Structure 1
């Protein structure tokens, strides 16, 4: 019988991104048109691979943040649509590259592009999408927005390399791990939220508020993903439950369980993570140890902490429908655990 890990707290009542979807619906329609246009190529495999992932059912949360943040400050142009599309292309490229690095078989319930077209095609189409993203950034004509998004692209790549450095390393500290996910995940959330107020001509104070919101939302989002890997389902997670464990990833639930464990338990983690003893029985034991040491609950607690920092970052801003929708996004991201 499988172990059910108690993911504490449950779903917050009415936690939803419906308000965000409604506010950005018209602009997201333009983003989707631009995605299809800019993912096109005379090289047949490029749109095939790109559309496989683009059409696979992601919520497009990051580009919606860009659109809502621009709307919040009264932006009336169309630069935010190009920047939102750039953000989505950067995210899609990262997923294509991640699936190769992680040797993943499933993404959002579908076979990954690398399983259909191979690793080389996945990497190269990811590179194509990054190139298209930068072309759209240039089209907007904002050097500041270009600077923010290009810096994010570099930081994300650094985060991926940092993650390789901590892979299978059980001596990784919580601070080390937070540095990885701040680069790998939170950097794009931060950039997505900041470029909206940039094109809207908002003040540096307002830009800083959205940057902090995005960073801390991204940290919370990733920590919930970490928890879901041991107690969620493939639909919520977008990949197979237990994939992190099978790939030997040292995420926060593992770090906490290892550090809090007995000598015998730490030997189990070494066998599992360092020596690839990650079969189903080992996964079940890992879940039991996480339950014993409160690792999942504490990971969710850390996520809630960063969610509150994101909430506080927006507190000084005037109350608008966009601000409320962004606050709702925090609750939605954390409520994915149930």
Structure 2
């Protein structure tokens, strides 16, 4: 009997050791934190661990690319995966800070929102900057940026993000430029002058915002009648308010996963990326925060009540603009300087 017990204990020990060997390495995954991180924990981290792929050590940062660069330059990379916005992904790729990825690892690129699969990163959710308004304060609903600029029909203050990015695009759309032509027009000196001229018309009515939490507060208090806003921020307060979103003329962008160059567990990190953009995990993510799945195969899996708040639902994305990362990489500094000088006048 004792022999039998010993054998069983030994067998169990060997099995446990084999399981540990089969499990992947611990992965250090760094995100922006907040409700976005909470959704990632439910959709990606916990199921990944439960499937025996190894532990996720979850970190947070504020997007400081200098940290990533210092690790890569000194060959002391401690992060396996980092969440970055599109402009940082583009810059990091150009500066050789990230590992290059084989697009085949992520299935058919046609199944993703255009631009999600990049050379050294993969967009895993989509968020939008949109026109938002308080339906309790307006008799008629605005439908476009032209309405946002129409202070006769819609009297009252407007909220806009204090910066050139998004604000210039919205000004051009208010002036009649079709969403698909915005960056073509903005690329010329005349187009930039046209955007600032349009902003001049609205300047006395603008209340600037700088943090994502401000537009819902301004709208709820009646400080402004309309505001540009991040769609997730509006969706988060819609249960207890009458705030609404106009998708027409919104500007959408990705947050992406990237692997710092020289990461010790790069192969496991690539598998984690592929796992996070699979339809099932994308569905869980979007159920926990109002950001759209990058993998369009997740859309039919989502409940209709969830879909109406998603930037990537076909009817919501139809008249939106994808942010032009290379345009802002080339012109951002000069346009932000011009904007700051204009706003200070």
Whether the TM-score (by the shorter chain) exceeds 0.5 is no
Q: Which has the larger radius of gyration?
A: 2
When you count strand as a share of all residues, which structure comes out higher? 2
**TM-score, normalised relative to structure 1:** 0.31
Relative to total residues, which structure has the larger helix share, 1 or 2?
Answer: 1
